[in-house]
Structure 1
Amino acid sequence: MGAFLFFFFFIVSISGILLGAKKNTAGYILPETQTGQTSNFEEWKSIAVLENIAQQTLKDSVSSLLSRDIDRMDIRKEKGIVKFLFKNHIHEIQLDGTTGEVLSIGQRRSDVIENIHDGSIVDDYLGTGGYFKLVYSVSMGIALLVFTITGFWLWYGPKKLRKTGR
Protein backbone atom coordinates (compact mmCIF):
# COMPACT_ATOMS: atom_id res chain seq x y z
CA MET A 1 0.00 0.00 0.00
CA GLY A 2 2.87 2.36 0.82
CA ALA A 3 4.37 1.93 -2.63
CA PHE A 4 0.99 2.67 -4.23
CA LEU A 5 0.50 5.83 -2.14
CA PHE A 6 4.12 7.04 -2.47
CA PHE A 7 3.33 9.43 -5.33
CA PHE A 8 0.38 10.96 -3.47
CA PHE A 9 2.33 11.35 -0.22
CA PHE A 10 5.12 12.99 -2.21
CA ILE A 11 2.69 15.51 -3.74
CA VAL A 12 1.02 16.24 -0.38
CA SER A 13 4.35 16.71 1.39
CA ILE A 14 5.92 19.01 -1.21
CA SER A 15 2.77 21.13 -1.56
CA GLY A 16 2.44 21.23 2.24
CA ILE A 17 6.00 22.53 2.57
CA LEU A 18 5.31 25.22 -0.02
CA LEU A 19 2.07 26.23 1.71
CA GLY A 20 3.86 26.43 5.04
CA ALA A 21 6.40 28.83 3.54
CA LYS A 22 4.00 30.87 1.40
CA LYS A 23 4.14 34.03 3.51
CA ASN A 24 7.95 33.98 3.55
CA THR A 25 8.61 33.92 -0.19
CA ALA A 26 8.84 37.69 -0.75
CA GLY A 27 5.49 37.74 -2.53
CA TYR A 28 6.24 34.97 -5.03
CA ILE A 29 3.75 32.37 -3.79
CA LEU A 30 1.33 34.78 -2.11
CA PRO A 31 1.36 38.55 -2.72
CA GLU A 32 2.28 40.47 0.40
CA THR A 33 -0.64 42.23 2.07
CA GLN A 34 -0.37 45.98 1.71
CA THR A 35 -1.61 48.66 4.12
CA GLY A 36 -4.25 51.28 3.35
CA GLN A 37 -4.95 54.64 4.93
CA THR A 38 -7.54 53.81 7.58
CA SER A 39 -9.50 50.99 9.16
CA ASN A 40 -12.52 53.24 9.72
CA PHE A 41 -15.30 51.86 7.48
CA GLU A 42 -17.12 55.21 7.56
CA GLU A 43 -14.34 56.67 5.43
CA TRP A 44 -14.23 53.78 2.97
CA LYS A 45 -15.65 53.78 -0.53
CA SER A 46 -18.57 51.45 -1.14
CA ILE A 47 -17.88 47.84 -2.06
CA ALA A 48 -19.56 48.43 -5.45
CA VAL A 49 -17.15 51.28 -6.25
CA LEU A 50 -14.13 49.25 -5.13
CA GLU A 51 -15.34 46.28 -7.18
CA ASN A 52 -15.55 48.44 -10.31
CA ILE A 53 -12.04 49.78 -9.71
CA ALA A 54 -10.67 46.24 -9.28
CA GLN A 55 -12.38 44.97 -12.45
CA GLN A 56 -11.18 47.95 -14.48
CA THR A 57 -7.65 47.52 -13.13
CA LEU A 58 -7.67 43.87 -14.14
CA LYS A 59 -8.77 44.80 -17.64
CA ASP A 60 -6.33 47.69 -18.06
CA SER A 61 -3.25 46.46 -16.20
CA VAL A 62 -3.32 42.67 -16.53
CA SER A 63 -5.40 41.54 -19.52
CA SER A 64 -8.68 42.44 -21.14
CA LEU A 65 -9.12 38.75 -22.04
CA LEU A 66 -9.34 37.49 -18.45
CA SER A 67 -12.67 36.97 -16.73
CA ARG A 68 -13.55 39.87 -14.44
CA ASP A 69 -15.94 37.71 -12.40
CA ILE A 70 -15.01 38.03 -8.75
CA ASP A 71 -14.64 34.82 -6.75
CA ARG A 72 -14.29 36.50 -3.37
CA MET A 73 -13.32 39.68 -1.59
CA ASP A 74 -11.03 39.57 1.40
CA ILE A 75 -11.64 42.65 3.54
CA ARG A 76 -8.77 43.40 5.90
CA LYS A 77 -10.23 46.12 8.07
CA GLU A 78 -7.17 46.40 10.32
CA LYS A 79 -4.97 46.90 7.24
CA GLY A 80 -7.44 49.24 5.50
CA ILE A 81 -7.58 47.18 2.32
CA VAL A 82 -9.74 44.92 0.21
CA LYS A 83 -8.28 42.02 -1.79
CA PHE A 84 -10.23 41.03 -4.90
CA LEU A 85 -9.74 37.46 -6.11
CA PHE A 86 -11.09 36.44 -9.49
CA LYS A 87 -12.65 33.26 -10.84
CA ASN A 88 -10.83 31.10 -13.39
CA HIS A 89 -7.40 32.67 -12.86
CA ILE A 90 -4.96 33.42 -10.05
CA HIS A 91 -4.78 37.20 -10.10
CA GLU A 92 -5.38 39.35 -7.04
CA ILE A 93 -5.84 43.09 -6.79
CA GLN A 94 -5.47 44.92 -3.49
CA LEU A 95 -7.16 48.30 -3.09
CA ASP A 96 -7.05 50.93 -0.40
CA GLY A 97 -10.53 50.92 1.12
CA THR A 98 -10.55 54.69 1.59
CA THR A 99 -9.17 56.01 -1.71
CA GLY A 100 -9.65 53.04 -4.02
CA GLU A 101 -5.97 53.34 -4.94
CA VAL A 102 -4.44 50.17 -6.39
CA LEU A 103 -1.88 48.97 -3.85
CA SER A 104 -0.92 45.67 -5.44
CA ILE A 105 -1.52 43.54 -8.50
CA GLY A 106 -0.26 40.00 -8.02
CA GLN A 107 -0.64 36.33 -8.72
CA ARG A 108 -1.83 33.97 -5.99
CA ARG A 109 0.24 30.91 -6.82
CA SER A 110 -0.71 29.62 -3.38
CA ASP A 111 -4.24 28.93 -4.65
CA VAL A 112 -2.87 26.55 -7.30
CA ILE A 113 -0.67 24.85 -4.70
CA GLU A 114 -3.67 24.48 -2.36
CA ASN A 115 -5.71 22.94 -5.18
CA ILE A 116 -2.92 20.44 -5.84
CA HIS A 117 -2.51 19.74 -2.12
CA ASP A 118 -6.16 18.90 -1.47
CA GLY A 119 -6.93 17.27 -4.84
CA SER A 120 -9.46 19.86 -5.97
CA ILE A 121 -7.38 20.52 -9.10
CA VAL A 122 -8.51 17.08 -10.35
CA ASP A 123 -12.13 17.92 -9.47
CA ASP A 124 -11.87 21.14 -11.44
CA TYR A 125 -10.33 19.34 -14.43
CA LEU A 126 -12.78 16.42 -14.45
CA GLY A 127 -15.81 18.34 -13.19
CA THR A 128 -16.58 15.79 -10.49
CA GLY A 129 -18.11 18.32 -8.09
CA GLY A 130 -15.83 17.74 -5.13
CA TYR A 131 -16.06 13.95 -4.99
CA PHE A 132 -12.44 13.33 -5.99
CA LYS A 133 -11.26 15.80 -3.33
CA LEU A 134 -13.38 14.03 -0.72
CA VAL A 135 -12.14 10.52 -1.60
CA TYR A 136 -8.55 11.74 -1.99
CA SER A 137 -8.46 13.65 1.32
CA VAL A 138 -10.13 10.89 3.34
CA SER A 139 -7.95 8.18 1.76
CA MET A 140 -4.75 10.13 2.39
CA GLY A 141 -5.80 10.89 5.97
CA ILE A 142 -6.65 7.28 6.75
CA ALA A 143 -3.45 6.02 5.11
CA LEU A 144 -1.34 8.51 7.07
CA LEU A 145 -3.07 7.52 10.30
CA VAL A 146 -2.54 3.79 9.62
CA PHE A 147 1.11 4.35 8.71
CA THR A 148 1.64 6.44 11.85
CA ILE A 149 0.06 3.83 14.13
CA THR A 150 1.89 0.90 12.53
CA GLY A 151 5.15 2.86 12.50
CA PHE A 152 4.75 3.61 16.19
CA TRP A 153 4.04 -0.06 16.89
CA LEU A 154 7.11 -1.13 14.93
CA TRP A 155 9.17 1.19 17.13
CA TYR A 156 7.44 0.55 20.47
CA GLY A 157 6.64 -3.17 20.09
CA PRO A 158 10.25 -4.43 20.23
CA LYS A 159 10.95 -2.19 23.26
CA LYS A 160 7.96 -3.67 25.07
CA LEU A 161 8.98 -7.24 24.15
CA ARG A 162 12.52 -6.65 25.45
CA LYS A 163 11.18 -5.35 28.78
CA THR A 164 8.77 -8.27 29.28
CA GLY A 165 11.37 -10.82 28.13
CA ARG A 166 13.84 -9.83 30.87
Structure 2
Amino acid sequence: MNRKKHAAILRSTRKIHRLMGIFLAVLFLIMAVTGLLLGWKKHSYGIMLPKSEKGISTNIEEWMPLDSLHSIATKTLHENVDSNLSLKLDRIDARPDKGMMKFVFEEGYHEIQLDATTGEVLSIDRRISDLIEEIHDGSIVDDWLNIKNGAFKVFYNTLMGLSLFLFVITGVWLWVGPKFMKRAK
Protein backbone atom coordinates (compact mmCIF):
# COMPACT_ATOMS: atom_id res chain seq x y z
CA MET A 1 0.00 0.00 0.00
CA ASN A 2 1.40 3.40 -0.89
CA ARG A 3 1.88 6.34 1.44
CA LYS A 4 -1.04 8.35 -0.01
CA LYS A 5 -3.44 5.48 0.61
CA HIS A 6 -2.16 5.08 4.19
CA ALA A 7 -2.59 8.80 4.79
CA ALA A 8 -6.14 8.70 3.43
CA ILE A 9 -7.04 5.77 5.68
CA LEU A 10 -5.50 7.56 8.65
CA ARG A 11 -7.46 10.75 7.90
CA SER A 12 -10.71 8.76 7.57
CA THR A 13 -9.98 6.94 10.81
CA ARG A 14 -9.27 10.23 12.58
CA LYS A 15 -12.57 11.68 11.31
CA ILE A 16 -14.59 8.61 12.39
CA HIS A 17 -12.88 8.62 15.78
CA ARG A 18 -13.51 12.36 16.30
CA LEU A 19 -17.18 12.22 15.21
CA MET A 20 -17.85 9.20 17.43
CA GLY A 21 -16.11 10.94 20.31
CA ILE A 22 -18.20 14.10 19.96
CA PHE A 23 -21.45 12.15 19.63
CA LEU A 24 -20.79 9.59 22.36
CA ALA A 25 -18.79 11.57 24.94
CA VAL A 26 -21.80 12.26 27.17
CA LEU A 27 -23.02 8.65 27.00
CA PHE A 28 -19.53 7.31 27.77
CA LEU A 29 -19.26 9.73 30.69
CA ILE A 30 -22.64 8.60 32.08
CA MET A 31 -21.71 4.95 31.67
CA ALA A 32 -18.28 5.47 33.24
CA VAL A 33 -19.56 7.41 36.27
CA THR A 34 -22.47 5.04 36.93
CA GLY A 35 -20.17 2.02 36.45
CA LEU A 36 -17.75 3.47 38.97
CA LEU A 37 -20.57 4.08 41.45
CA LEU A 38 -21.91 0.54 40.98
CA GLY A 39 -18.44 -0.84 41.64
CA TRP A 40 -18.46 0.97 44.99
CA LYS A 41 -22.11 0.37 45.96
CA LYS A 42 -21.40 -2.30 48.60
CA HIS A 43 -18.75 -0.04 50.12
CA SER A 44 -20.89 3.11 50.26
CA TYR A 45 -21.71 2.74 53.98
CA GLY A 46 -25.43 2.39 53.24
CA ILE A 47 -25.70 5.47 51.02
CA MET A 48 -26.38 3.65 47.73
CA LEU A 49 -27.31 0.20 49.00
CA PRO A 50 -28.94 -0.34 52.41
CA LYS A 51 -26.96 -2.49 54.82
CA SER A 52 -28.39 -6.00 55.13
CA GLU A 53 -29.67 -6.37 58.69
CA LYS A 54 -29.82 -9.64 60.64
CA GLY A 55 -32.88 -11.50 61.86
CA ILE A 56 -32.99 -13.75 64.90
CA SER A 57 -32.93 -17.16 63.18
CA THR A 58 -31.22 -18.59 60.13
CA ASN A 59 -33.34 -21.75 60.36
CA ILE A 60 -35.80 -21.47 57.46
CA GLU A 61 -38.20 -23.90 59.16
CA GLU A 62 -38.80 -21.22 61.84
CA TRP A 63 -39.60 -18.48 59.34
CA MET A 64 -43.03 -16.98 58.88
CA PRO A 65 -44.93 -17.79 55.66
CA LEU A 66 -44.01 -15.64 52.68
CA ASP A 67 -47.54 -14.22 52.28
CA SER A 68 -47.51 -13.02 55.93
CA LEU A 69 -44.13 -11.33 55.48
CA HIS A 70 -45.35 -9.77 52.22
CA SER A 71 -48.41 -8.34 54.02
CA ILE A 72 -46.18 -6.80 56.71
CA ALA A 73 -43.87 -5.30 54.06
CA THR A 74 -46.70 -3.72 52.04
CA LYS A 75 -48.38 -2.38 55.18
CA THR A 76 -45.04 -0.93 56.32
CA LEU A 77 -44.46 0.73 52.95
CA HIS A 78 -47.85 2.46 53.00
CA GLU A 79 -47.75 3.43 56.68
CA ASN A 80 -44.13 4.60 56.87
CA VAL A 81 -43.22 5.79 53.39
CA ASP A 82 -46.21 6.85 51.25
CA SER A 83 -49.73 5.46 51.13
CA ASN A 84 -50.00 6.35 47.43
CA LEU A 85 -47.09 4.18 46.30
CA SER A 86 -47.75 1.11 44.18
CA LEU A 87 -47.36 -2.19 46.04
CA LYS A 88 -45.96 -3.88 42.94
CA LEU A 89 -42.81 -5.78 43.87
CA ASP A 90 -39.62 -5.75 41.86
CA ARG A 91 -38.24 -8.70 43.79
CA ILE A 92 -38.09 -10.53 47.10
CA ASP A 93 -34.61 -11.30 48.32
CA ALA A 94 -34.37 -14.08 50.94
CA ARG A 95 -31.18 -14.08 52.99
CA PRO A 96 -31.10 -17.37 54.92
CA ASP A 97 -27.61 -16.64 56.29
CA LYS A 98 -28.95 -13.42 57.85
CA GLY A 99 -32.41 -14.64 58.83
CA MET A 100 -34.17 -11.88 56.92
CA MET A 101 -36.04 -11.05 53.75
CA LYS A 102 -35.90 -7.92 51.61
CA PHE A 103 -38.99 -6.74 49.76
CA VAL A 104 -37.97 -4.38 46.96
CA PHE A 105 -40.79 -2.35 45.41
CA GLU A 106 -40.78 -1.11 41.83
CA GLU A 107 -41.91 2.44 42.49
CA GLY A 108 -39.41 4.69 44.23
CA TYR A 109 -36.73 2.01 44.74
CA HIS A 110 -37.94 1.33 48.29
CA GLU A 111 -36.80 -1.67 50.28
CA ILE A 112 -38.31 -3.13 53.43
CA GLN A 113 -36.17 -5.62 55.37
CA LEU A 114 -38.00 -7.96 57.73
CA ASP A 115 -36.88 -10.48 60.31
CA ALA A 116 -38.07 -13.66 58.59
CA THR A 117 -38.91 -15.34 61.90
CA THR A 118 -40.80 -12.59 63.73
CA GLY A 119 -41.82 -10.26 60.91
CA GLU A 120 -40.20 -7.35 62.75
CA VAL A 121 -39.24 -4.45 60.47
CA LEU A 122 -35.44 -4.26 60.44
CA SER A 123 -35.01 -1.52 57.85
CA ILE A 124 -36.95 0.87 55.63
CA ASP A 125 -34.72 2.43 53.00
CA ARG A 126 -34.21 3.39 49.35
CA ARG A 127 -31.99 1.48 46.96
CA ILE A 128 -30.21 4.30 45.13
CA SER A 129 -28.01 1.64 43.53
CA ASP A 130 -31.03 0.33 41.59
CA LEU A 131 -31.60 3.79 40.11
CA ILE A 132 -27.91 4.07 39.23
CA GLU A 133 -28.03 0.62 37.59
CA GLU A 134 -31.07 1.63 35.49
CA ILE A 135 -29.23 4.76 34.34
CA HIS A 136 -26.11 2.70 33.59
CA ASP A 137 -27.85 0.09 31.44
CA GLY A 138 -30.42 2.44 29.85
CA SER A 139 -33.48 0.65 31.24
CA ILE A 140 -34.57 3.91 32.89
CA VAL A 141 -35.59 5.14 29.41
CA ASP A 142 -37.67 2.00 28.90
CA ASP A 143 -39.41 2.80 32.22
CA TRP A 144 -39.98 6.47 31.31
CA LEU A 145 -41.35 5.63 27.86
CA ASN A 146 -43.22 2.55 29.13
CA ILE A 147 -41.43 0.21 26.69
CA LYS A 148 -42.31 -3.27 27.92
CA ASN A 149 -39.74 -5.45 26.15
CA GLY A 150 -36.65 -3.41 27.06
CA ALA A 151 -36.00 -2.43 23.44
CA PHE A 152 -34.20 0.79 24.35
CA LYS A 153 -31.93 -1.02 26.81
CA VAL A 154 -30.91 -3.50 24.09
CA PHE A 155 -30.40 -0.69 21.54
CA TYR A 156 -28.41 1.44 24.01
CA ASN A 157 -26.14 -1.39 25.13
CA THR A 158 -25.57 -2.53 21.53
CA LEU A 159 -24.73 1.05 20.52
CA MET A 160 -22.37 1.52 23.45
CA GLY A 161 -20.68 -1.86 22.98
CA LEU A 162 -20.13 -1.41 19.26
CA SER A 163 -19.04 2.21 19.74
CA LEU A 164 -16.51 1.24 22.37
CA PHE A 165 -15.24 -1.51 20.07
CA LEU A 166 -14.90 0.98 17.16
CA PHE A 167 -13.30 3.52 19.48
CA VAL A 168 -10.64 1.01 20.47
CA ILE A 169 -10.00 -0.06 16.87
CA THR A 170 -9.77 3.50 15.53
CA GLY A 171 -7.73 4.59 18.55
CA VAL A 172 -5.23 1.80 18.04
CA TRP A 173 -4.97 2.66 14.35
CA LEU A 174 -4.42 6.34 15.18
CA TRP A 175 -1.55 5.24 17.42
CA VAL A 176 -0.06 2.54 15.17
CA GLY A 177 -0.88 4.07 11.75
CA PRO A 178 1.73 6.85 11.82
CA LYS A 179 4.41 4.39 12.99
CA PHE A 180 3.41 2.05 10.17
CA MET A 181 3.61 4.90 7.65
CA LYS A 182 7.03 5.94 8.96
CA ARG A 183 8.32 2.39 8.61
CA ALA A 184 6.87 2.06 5.09
CA LYS A 185 8.65 5.28 4.10
**TM-score, structure 1 as length reference:** 0.90
Three-state SS of the structure 2 residue aligned to 1:82 is strand
Letter of the aligned partner of 1:33 in structure 2?
S
**Gap regions ≥5 residues in structure 2:** 1-19
Find the structure with the greater CA-based Rg. 2
Residue 83 of structure 2 corresponds to 64
CA distance in structure 2 between the partners assigned to 1:10 and 1:27 by the alignment? 25
CA distance in structure 2 between the partners assigned to 1:54 and 1:146 by the alignment? 47
Three-state SS of the structure 2 residue aligned to 1:51 is helix
Indicate which of 142, 147, 168 corresponds to 1:148: 168
Instruction: Please tell me the root mean square deviation across aligned C-alpha atoms, in Å.
Output: 1.9
CA distance in structure 2 between the partners assigned to 1:159 and 1:2 by the alignment? 23
Residue 94 of structure 2 corresponds to 75
Residue 29 of structure 2 corresponds to 10
CA distance in structure 2 between the partners assigned to 1:103 and 1:161 by the alignment? 66
Three-state SS of the structure 2 residue aligned to 1:89 is helix
Deviates more, 1:19-28 or 1:149-158: 149-158
Matches within 5 A, 1:8-157: 8-129=27-148, 130-156=150-176
CA distance in structure 2 between the partners assigned to 1:103 and 1:159 by the alignment? 63
CA distance in structure 2 between the partners assigned to 1:12 and 1:53 by the alignment? 37
Deviates more, 1:151-160 or 1:29-38: 151-160
Query: 1:25 deviation in Å?
Result: 1.4
**Gap regions ≥5 residues in structure 1:** none
Query: 1:52 deviation in Å?
Result: 0.7
Q: % of aligned pairs identical?
A: 51
By relative contact order (CA 8 Å, sep 6+), the higher-ranking structure is: 2
C-alpha distance after superposition, 1:37-74 (max 9, x if no partner): 22211010010111011111111111212122222101
CA distance in structure 1 between the partners assigned to 2:172 and 2:104 by the alignment? 43
**TM-score, structure 2 as length reference:** 0.81
Deviates more, 1:152-161 or 1:13-22: 152-161
Three-state SS of the structure 1 residue aligned to 2:107 is coil
Aligned length: 165
CA distance in structure 2 between the partners assigned to 1:127 and 1:104 by the alignment? 30
Query: 1:6 deviation in Å?
Result: 0.7
CA distance in structure 1 between the partners assigned to 2:123 and 2:176 by the alignment? 53
CA distance in structure 2 between the partners assigned to 1:4 and 1:123 by the alignment? 21
Three-state SS of the structure 2 residue aligned to 1:74 is strand
C-alpha distance after superposition, 1:114-142 (max 9, x if no partner): 11111111111112331111111001011
